[in-house]
């Protein structure tokens, strides 16, 4: 005997199947629609959603993205079964900027990059840089190609696993990074000298000469104390030249949020530098404040050099603050 609830559920399933069939037909009008297609699509959507709990993607949107990826020379339901629909579901949600999808994508990406880079002798710092490069390559729109303004992950076909697709990009970027010649960059001494203007006055010049090593150690300590997010943000902004607006697009947040993040990371460098210099220089607080005002006004000139790490020093990059 069919209960009222079962009858309602059946009608709802039929309505969902009809809506998905309609979305599919609109995306691929040349393909024949079989009687069981709507249910097959509904099952594929449900299985994909179960694979990524919490990821939000409308079923009709997913089917509209899935339909163009089906092989035209195969029966529709057979072609559907050949796709990695769960991975495609995650990729589509990433294109739409769903925060949980992006977090899940990151969990896939990090170990893949670590393995690809580690096999080729990349340092920890280079692995972190590669993670950001691959993220940007796959998740950020390409402003240089307005006609292709979508993120590259929108091109994922679903015909192989998403992990394998990421691995190809990670391997290529690893070879590109480790194979390119290192650019000529100022040494530590030049970077520290750049923090102090030539006309800073005899007292500051005296400190600069007498405590050059203290300045150098203080900045190294300050950069090492950054959280991973602070370091990555500063590297993206100062080294890679990503504007606040591009960072906002990348992280799917308002530009004021990324501006606050970048400024917070910059402040963290200055505050840690002040503490480290205070421990080493033993000068009056007013004098230290004067030095820090000079450094603050010129930090952006030398920050790229302070952040660049062509290789790990003995003992690693130092302990970082949690966060």
Same domain, yes or no, for 287 and 196? yes
The angle formed by the CA atoms of residues 253, 254 and 256, to the nearest 5 degrees, is: 125
Same domain, yes or no, for 80 and 28? yes
pLDDT(182) > 50: no
Instruction: Choose the final residue of a domain: 146, 161, 179.
Output: 179
Residue 314: its pLDDT value, please?
Answer: 29
pLDDT one-digit tens code per residue, 185-215: 344 444 444 454 444 455 555 555 665 667 7
Judge whether 111 lies within some domain: yes
Same domain, yes or no, for 105 and 90? no
Same domain, yes or no, for 193 and 303? yes
pLDDT(246) > 60: yes
> Could you give phi then psi for residue 117, rounded to 5 degrees?
-80, -40
Instruction: Assign 179 a pLDDT band (cuts: 50, 70, 90).
Output: low
pLDDT(26) > 60: yes
User: Rg of the Cα trace of the chain?
Assistant: 26
pLDDT one-digit tens code per residue, 95-133: 988 889 999 999 999 999 888 888 888 888 788 888 888
What is the signed CA dihedral for 219, 221, 227, 233, rounded to 10 degrees?
20
What is the signed CA dihedral for 122, 123, 129, 130, rounded to 10 degrees?
20
Could you count the other beta carbons within 10 Å of the beta carbon of residue 110?
A: 15
Judge whether 169 lies within some domain: yes
Same domain, yes or no, for 83 and 140? no
> 0.85 cut: is pTM over it?
no
State whether the Cα torsion 30-34-35-41 is positive or negative: negative
| The pair of three-digit structure tokens given for residue 49, joined into one six-digit string | 């959603």
Same domain, yes or no, for 298 and 210? yes
Please state the length of the chain: 323
Same domain, yes or no, for 142 and 192? no
Residues spanned by the domain of 217: 188-307
Judge whether 2 lies within some domain: no
Average pLDDT in the 292-313 region?
56
Judge whether 6 lies within some domain: no
- Are residues 57 and 20 in contact, defined by beta-carbon separation less than 8 angstroms? no
Number of domains in the chain: 3
Residue 45: its pLDDT value, please?
Answer: 92
Same domain, yes or no, for 213 and 152? no
Judge whether 57 lies within some domain: yes
Q: How far is CA 93 from the centre of its chain?
A: 15
Judge whether 245 lies within some domain: yes
Residue owning tokens 């992990």: 163
Same domain, yes or no, for 212 and 143? no
Q: Give the three-class secondary structure for 72.
A: coil
Same domain, yes or no, for 141 and 85? no
* Distance separating alpha carbons of residues 269 and 303, to the nearest angstrom: 10
- Are residues 88 and 120 in contact, defined by beta-carbon separation less than 8 angstroms? no
Instruction: Choose the final residue of a domain: 61, 95, 129.
Output: 95
Same domain, yes or no, for 298 and 218? yes
Residue 61: its pLDDT value, please?
Answer: 93
Judge whether 121 lies within some domain: yes
Judge whether 40 lies within some domain: yes
Residue 141: its pLDDT value, please?
Answer: 72
| The pair of three-digit structure tokens given for residue 316, joined into one six-digit string | 């690693």
Same domain, yes or no, for 125 and 85? no
Instruction: Choose the final residue of a domain: 95, 113, 132.
Output: 95
pLDDT one-digit tens code per residue, 29-75: 988 888 888 898 999 999 999 999 999 899 999 999 999 998 888 88
């Amino acid at each position: 005997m069919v209960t009222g609830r079962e009858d309602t559920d059946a009608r709802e399933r039929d309505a969902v199947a009809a809506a998905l069939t309609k979305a599919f037909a609109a995306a691929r009008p040349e393909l024949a629609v079989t009687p069981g297609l709507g249910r097959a699509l509904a099952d594929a959507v449900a299985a994909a959603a179960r694979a990524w709990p919490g990821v939000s993607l409308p079923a009709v949107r997913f089917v509209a993205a899935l339909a163009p990826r089906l092989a035209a020379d195969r029966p529709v339901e057979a072609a559907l079964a050949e796709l990695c629909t769960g991975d495609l579901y995650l990729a589509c949600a990433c294109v739409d900027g769903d925060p949980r999808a992006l977090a899940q994508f990151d969990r896939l990406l990090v170990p893949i990059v670590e393995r690809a880079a580690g096999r080729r002798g990349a340092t920890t710092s280079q692995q972190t840089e590669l993670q950001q490069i691959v993220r940007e390559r796959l998740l950020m729109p390409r402003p240089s190609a307005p006609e292709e303004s979508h993120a590259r992950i929108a091109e994922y076909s679903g015909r192989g696993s998403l992990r394998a697709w990421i691995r190809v990009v990670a391997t290529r970027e690893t070879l590109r990074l480790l194979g390119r010649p290192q650019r000529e960059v100022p040494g530590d001494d030049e970077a520290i000298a750049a923090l102090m203007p030539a006309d800073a006055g005899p007292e500051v010049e005296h400190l600069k000469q007498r405590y050059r090593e203290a300045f150098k150690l203080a900045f190294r300590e300050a950069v090492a104390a950054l959280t991973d997010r602070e370091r990555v943000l500063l590297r993206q902004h100062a080294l890679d030249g990503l504007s606040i607006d591009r960072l906002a697009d990348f992280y799917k947040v308002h530009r004021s949020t990324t501006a606050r993040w970048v400024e917070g990371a910059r402040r963290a460098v200055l505050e840690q530098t002040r503490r480290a210099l205070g421990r080493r220089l033993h000068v009056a607080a007013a004098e230290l404040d004067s030095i820090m005002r000079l450094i603050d006004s010129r930090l952006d000139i030398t920050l790229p050099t302070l952040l660049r790490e062509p290789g790990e020093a003995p003992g690693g990059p130092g302990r970082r603050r949690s966060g």
